[in-house]
């Protein structure tokens, strides 16, 4: 039983790592493919319009909008 | 205030350009010139930007700090704001009689 | 116009010179409903927020980069102009422009307002910091200003709650029909006569509103006399940096100890609660020993950023740039490189992108290439671990030895960056002039709520990194370190038979000359994704290393202190000063320079320097101890 949980967790960790470390362009392609696939289905539409659409928009712009360390540079911080 | 004798006029000026203005002395901006050593485009862009920052004819300015050695950069107060300028930039600001 | 307003959300743009309080006002208008993204094609940040109007419609508020003029000198400023003119892909001109002007520095802000007015967009003027202006003896006749300028003028105090109420009322969509200013929508770089005209208009305006330049700020001047003095100023700068690192160690001790013990207790509890087996090992040796090992450094990160944010807010940083400008010029860096390089102390990635504000390609490239050498916050857990394990907690005079070593490591990063820049300069030839013209804003007490908000942002980023990629990679590493299981009757630690163990043994050939054992060699591999992972990887690897698979008690730090030599520890520290392995950084460099050449050069030179530094350090320290 423990083995099963462990395999599951490792698989999730692997998938997550691959996702995070993928080049941004591939990630965007993957998201667009997912979006296109969902367009013809009738589940997860709410998630698609809210979450996926936003993710695609921010990923489509260049720069580190998707990076966890994205912060405002000093010369643009509120004064 | 003008005097007919230009030598006397220059004798009353604290300095010819901002780069030579002693610390703490007030100067009045007379105009902006092209600085030798910069290519034409850079020199014009510099003049435009300096003017936008407030270095216009008649503006009062004061040097509040000077880096060592060589006075590069200097900190200048003009129009209520303070700016750090390179020596090359300060040379573009001509001072005149108040 | 009303129909258009009703059918789509309206867009309001905030425009103003840098340091006028525009972004604080933006925060007040949008609260937490903000989003930071990028303008298409460039890396200038696009800050947009939302606000609900009284009639329920959505208003989008855009915080444009600060600019001194619509005639741009940097990419930032060009973006502001382009957004206003509707030249940015996919966006038309904003529906309303709020021009933010600092009352204390009226001339420079008003001059920009005159330029913006000429664009003909609906406009209001927000006169900010009216309270400070009054205190400094600056009186502005608002009614006259509004009449002469022909736009609505609202006083605001962005930093006080309720201080923007007048503005909020004025930007309600139902008020807009009265706001057209009239003028041409097109824009071209002003000629000398037009510039002259603007100046004359400005002079007239300032006179009619009764503006007098504020008397010099005594306190500010006295402070500048000290802080910008060539000698005293430098000493103060060094002192401040020094103090920062001392604090990072001494203030963090108690909370770190707390987290450490919490993690140990959690590990013991989980280990006892679950029956022996792979899940138990995954959770205790993988998750808790691994990712938990990085979590313990949260207090230090908070303290470091507390100082950085406080310094930013206080207005000190441009003074530091002023002091360092000569030095930077001496190694061939533009004065404009100071801010990107400073950003790199958090993470090199935004720093590398901020280099886009440097006009000259050569200066920009140099800045990009040395940005990773500025000690990024991901190195902090590695430094902290090694220092805690190997540097005794002694005092050297009034200073703590551990804090001193931390400071020395940061200094080594900065010095190596300057050295590399200088070497680049030798190859590149004579330097030309590059612009400085940096505004030195008024000193102010750091705003407590800004500070807390900034710190909270940092905490969230750190926690999401730990709970995200660090945790994931640690789990994978655990898996690779636990399987395949050792054959029957094998001696030695089970980990040596696993995938990771074998890989580590192979890598050890490469790293043995610089004193790295196979555990370190293994830990460097996941460090490619995130430098801090080396700490969690070490945690996991050592947790799994007990011979015969017994439970490992005790934490990573004492383990390392006992099993590694001082030479190895110093060698690893030297390696991390250069730390060539962050893949995300290399990816950003590729994107910014549009070629593979520069990221490869960067990886190459960083690796060579790291290896060399580690080698020398290892040999020297071994010979000496």
Q: Give partners of B (≥3 CB pairs < 8 A).
A: C
Q: In percent, how much of chain C has pLDDT > 70?
A: 89
C596-623 CB burial, b ≥16 within 10 A, e <16: eebbeebbeebeebbbebbbebbeebee
- Mean pLDDT of all residues in B87-96: 87
Q: Please give the ipTM for the structure prediction.
A: 0.84
Whether residue A61 is predicted with pLDDT greater than 80 in this model: the reply is no
How many of the other CB atoms lie within 10 Å of CB of C218?
A: 8
H or E, element range at B29: strand B26-32
| Both structure tokens of C18 | 């840098």
- Mean pLDDT of all residues in C602-619: 91
What does the pLDDT read at residue C427?
Answer: 80
Contact between C99 and C64 under an 8 Å Cβ cutoff? The reply is: no
C561-579 CB burial, b ≥16 within 10 A, e <16: eeebebbbbbbbbbbbbbb
Number of H helices, E strands in chain B: 3, 5
Residue identified by tokens 């704001």 is B81
Q: What's the CA gap between C150 and C250, in Å, rounded?
A: 58
Per-residue model confidence as pLDDT tens digits over C547-576: 433 344 446 777 788 888 888 899 999 999
Highest mean pLDDT among A12-21, C35-44, C347-356: A12-21
What does the pLDDT read at residue C33?
Answer: 56
Give me the helix-helix angle, C471-482 and C499-511, nearest 10°.
100
- Mean of all residue pLDDT scores within chain A: 70
Contact between C84 and C94 under an 8 Å Cβ cutoff? The reply is: yes
When pLDDT is cut at 50, 70 and 90, the band that residue C429 belongs to is: low
Whether residue C616 is predicted with pLDDT greater than 80 in this model: the reply is yes
- Mean pLDDT of all residues in C326-339: 79
Whether residue B13 is predicted with pLDDT greater than 80 in this model: the reply is no
Contact B80 C438 (CB under 8 A): no
Give me the helix-helix angle, A24-39 and A53-60, nearest 10°.
150
DSSP letters along A8-70, please?
Answer: HHHHHHHHHHHHHHS-HHHHHHHHHHHHHHHHTSSSSHHHIIIIIHHHHHHHHSSSSTT-TT-
When pLDDT is cut at 50, 70 and 90, the band that residue C4 belongs to is: very low
Highest mean pLDDT among C152-166, C327-341, C545-559: C152-166
Order of all β-strands in the sheet with C438-439: B93-96, B26-32, B60-66, B74-78, B81-85, C438-439
Q: What's the CA gap between C336 and C437, in Å, rounded?
A: 9
Interface residues from chain C to B (CB-CB < 8 Å): 68-69, 71, 73, 104-108, 111, 195, 199, 213-214, 216, 221, 224-225, 228-231, 318, 321-323, 325-326, 335, 433, 435-441
List % helix, strand, coil for chain B (3-state, nearest 5).
Answer: 30, 30, 40
Q: What's the CA gap between C28 and C158, in Å, rounded?
A: 7
Which of C463, C100, C219, C11 has its CA nearest to residue A78?
A: C100
Whether residue C422 is predicted with pLDDT greater than 80 in this model: the reply is yes
What does the pLDDT read at residue C99?
Answer: 94
Phi and psi for C140 in degrees, rounded to 5?
Answer: -125, 130
What does the pLDDT read at residue B98?
Answer: 58
When pLDDT is cut at 50, 70 and 90, the band that residue C98 belongs to is: very high
Å between B16 CA and nearest CA of chain C:
20
- Mean pLDDT of all residues in B24-43: 82
What does the pLDDT read at residue C1?
Answer: 38
C-alpha to C-alpha distances, C238 to C88, C101, C232, C243, C411, nearest whole angstrom: 43, 35, 10, 9, 10
Q: Do chains A and B touch (3 or more CB pairs under 8 A)?
A: no
Instruction: Select the residue of C214, C221, C326 nearest B80 (Cβ to Cβ).
Output: C214
When pLDDT is cut at 50, 70 and 90, the band that residue C43 belongs to is: very low
Q: What is the pTM of this model?
A: 0.76
When pLDDT is cut at 50, 70 and 90, the band that residue A59 belongs to is: low
N-terminal to C-terminal alpha carbon distance within chain B = 7
What does the pLDDT read at residue A69?
Answer: 37
Q: What's the CA gap between C126 and C142, in Å, rounded?
A: 11
Query: Which range is least confidently modeled, A27-36, C104-113, C333-342?
Result: C333-342
Contact between C148 and C208 under an 8 Å Cβ cutoff? The reply is: yes
- Largest Cα separation within chain C, whole Å, is 95
Q: Could you tell me which residue, C454 or C235, shows the higher pLDDT?
A: C235
Q: Any chain A CB within 8 A of the CB of C42?
A: yes
Contact C45 A73 (CB under 8 A): yes
| Both structure tokens of C617 | 């350090």
| Both structure tokens of C129 | 């910091």
Phi and psi for C205 in degrees, rounded to 5?
Answer: -60, -50
Query: Which range is least confidently modeled, A44-58, B15-29, C433-447, C568-582?
Result: A44-58
Whether residue C236 is predicted with pLDDT greater than 90 in this model: the reply is yes
> Taking CA C159 as the corner, what is the angle to CA C156 and CA C164, rounded to the nearest 5 degrees?
35
What does the pLDDT read at residue A60?
Answer: 56
Whether residue C440 is predicted with pLDDT greater than 80 in this model: the reply is yes
Q: What's the CA gap between C382 and C297, in Å, rounded?
A: 9
Interface residues from chain A to C (CB-CB < 8 Å): 2-3, 5-6, 9-10, 12-14, 16-17, 20-21, 23-24, 57-58, 61-65, 67-79
- Mean pLDDT of all residues in C240-266: 82
Query: Which range is least confidently modeled, B55-59, C144-148, C286-290?
Result: C286-290
- Mean of all residue pLDDT scores within chain C: 80
Å between C279 CA and nearest CA of chain A:
5
Whether residue C44 is predicted with pLDDT greater than 60 in this model: the reply is no
Whether residue C410 is predicted with pLDDT greater than 80 in this model: the reply is yes
- Largest Cα separation within chain B, whole Å, is 38
Which residues is C243 bridged to in the sheet? none
- Mean pLDDT of all residues in C465-478: 80
Contact B84 C436 (CB under 8 A): yes
Residue identified by tokens 């030599």 is C565
Q: In percent, how much of chain A has pLDDT > 90?
A: 0
Instruction: Select the residue of A3, A9, A63 nearest C43 (Cβ to Cβ).
Output: A63
Per-residue model confidence as pLDDT tens digits over C61-87: 888 888 888 888 777 788 888 888 888
Q: Could you tell me which residue, C146 or C493, shows the higher pLDDT?
A: C146
User: β-pairing, B26-32 with C438-439?
Assistant: unpaired
Q: Give partners of C (≥3 CB pairs < 8 A).
A: A, B
Whether residue C204 is predicted with pLDDT greater than 80 in this model: the reply is yes
Highest mean pLDDT among B63-77, C408-422, C455-469: C408-422
Plot region of C551 (φ>0 → left; ψ -120 to 50 → alpha; else → beta) = beta
């Amino acid at each position: 039983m423990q083995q099963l949980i462990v395999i599951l967790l490792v698989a999730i960790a692997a998938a997550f790592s691959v996702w995070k470390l993928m080049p941004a362009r591939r990630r965007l392609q993957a998201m667009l493919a997912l979006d296109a696939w969902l367009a013809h289905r009738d589940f997860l539409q709410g998630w698609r319009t809210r979450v996926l659409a936003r993710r695609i928009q921010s990923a489509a712009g260049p720069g580190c909008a998707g990076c966890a360390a994205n912060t405002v540079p000093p010369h643009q911080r509120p004064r | 205030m003008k005097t007919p004798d230009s030598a006397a006029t220059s004798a009353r000026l604290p300095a010819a350009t901002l780069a030579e203005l002693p610390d703490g002395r007030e100067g009045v901006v007379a105009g902006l010139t092209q600085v030798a050593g910069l290519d034409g485009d850079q020199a014009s862009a510099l003049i435009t930007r300096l003017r936008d920052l407030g270095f216009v004819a008649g503006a009062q300015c004061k040097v509040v700090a000077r880096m060592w050695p060589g006075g590069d950069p200097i900190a200048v107060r003009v129009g209520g704001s303070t700016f750090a300028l390179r020596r090359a930039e300060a040379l573009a600001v001509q001072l005149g009689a108040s | 116009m009303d129909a258009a307003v009703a059918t789509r959300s309206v867009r309001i743009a905030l425009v103003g010179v840098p340091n006028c309080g525009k972004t604080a006002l933006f925060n007040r208008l949008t609260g937490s409903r903000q989003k930071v993204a990028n303008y298409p094609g460039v890396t200038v940040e696009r800050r947009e927020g939302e606000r609900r109007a009284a009639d329920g419609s959505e208003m989008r508020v855009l915080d444009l980069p600060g600019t001194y003029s619509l005639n741009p000198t940097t990419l930032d400023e060009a973006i502001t102009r382009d957004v206003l003119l509707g030249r940015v892909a996919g966006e038309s001109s904003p529906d309303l422009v709020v021009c933010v002007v600092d009352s204390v520095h009226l001339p420079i802000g008003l001059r920009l307002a005159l330029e913006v007015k000429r664009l003909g967009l609906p406009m209001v003027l927000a006169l900010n910091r009216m309270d400070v202006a009054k205190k400094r003896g600056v009186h502005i006749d608002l009614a006259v200003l509004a009449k002469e300028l022909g736009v609505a003028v609202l006083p605001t105090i962005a930093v006080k709650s309720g201080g923007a109420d007048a503005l909020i009322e004025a930007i309600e969509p139902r008020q807009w029909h009265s706001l057209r200013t009239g003028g041409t929508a097109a824009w071209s770089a002003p000629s000398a006569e037009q510039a002259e005209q603007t100046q004359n208009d400005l002079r007239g305006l300032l006179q009619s509103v009764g503006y007098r330049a504020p008397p010099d700020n005594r306190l500010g001047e006295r402070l500048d006399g000290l802080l910008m003095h060539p000698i005293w100023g430098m000493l103060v700068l060094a002192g401040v940096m020094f103090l920062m690192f001392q604090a990072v160690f001494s203030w963090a001790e108690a909370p770190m100890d707390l987290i450490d013990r919490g993690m140990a207790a959690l590990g013991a509890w989980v280990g006892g609660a679950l029956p022996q087996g792979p899940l138990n090992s995954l959770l205790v040796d993988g998750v808790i020993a691994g990712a938990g090992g990085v979590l313990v450094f949260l207090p230090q990160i908070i303290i470091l950023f507390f100082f950085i944010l406080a310094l930013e807010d206080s207005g000190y940083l441009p003074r530091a740039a002023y002091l360092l400008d000569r030095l930077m010029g001496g190694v061939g860096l533009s004065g404009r490189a100071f801010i990107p390089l400073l950003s790199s102390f958090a993470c090199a990635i935004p720093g590398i992108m901020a280099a886009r504000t440097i006009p000259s390609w050569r200066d920009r490239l140099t800045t990009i290439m040395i940005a990773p050498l500025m000690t990024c916050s991901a190195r902090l857990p590695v430094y902290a671990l090694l220092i805690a394990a190997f540097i005794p907690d002694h005092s050297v005079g009034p200073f703590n030895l551990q804090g001193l070593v931390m400071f020395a490591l940061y200094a080594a990063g900065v010095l190596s960056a300057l050295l590399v820049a200088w070497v680049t300069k030798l190859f590149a030839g004579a330097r030309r002039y590059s612009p400085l013209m940096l505004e030195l804003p008024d000193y102010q007490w750091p705003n407590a709520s800004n500070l807390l908000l900034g710190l909270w942002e940092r905490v969230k980023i750190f926690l999401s990194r730990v709970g995200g990629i660090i945790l994931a990679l640690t789990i994978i590493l655990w898996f690779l370190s636990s399987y395949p299981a050792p054959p029957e009757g094998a001696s030695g630690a089970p980990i040596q038979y696993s995938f990771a163990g074998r890989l580590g043994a192979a890598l050890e050939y490469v790293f043995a000359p610089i004193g790295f054992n196979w555990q370190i060699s293994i830990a460097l591999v996941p460090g490619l994704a995130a430098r801090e992972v080396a700490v969690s990887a070490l945690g996991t690897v050592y947790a799994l290393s007990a011979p015969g698979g017994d439970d490992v008690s005790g934490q990573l730090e004492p383990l390392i202190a006992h099993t590694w030599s001082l030479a190895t520890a110093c060698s690893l520290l030297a390696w991390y000063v250069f730390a060539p392995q962050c893949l995300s950084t290399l990816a950003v460099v590729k994107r910014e320079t549009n070629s593979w050449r520069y990221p490869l050069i960067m990886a190459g030179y960083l690796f060579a320097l790291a290896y060399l530094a580690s080698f020398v350090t290892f040999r020297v320290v071994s010979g000496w101890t």
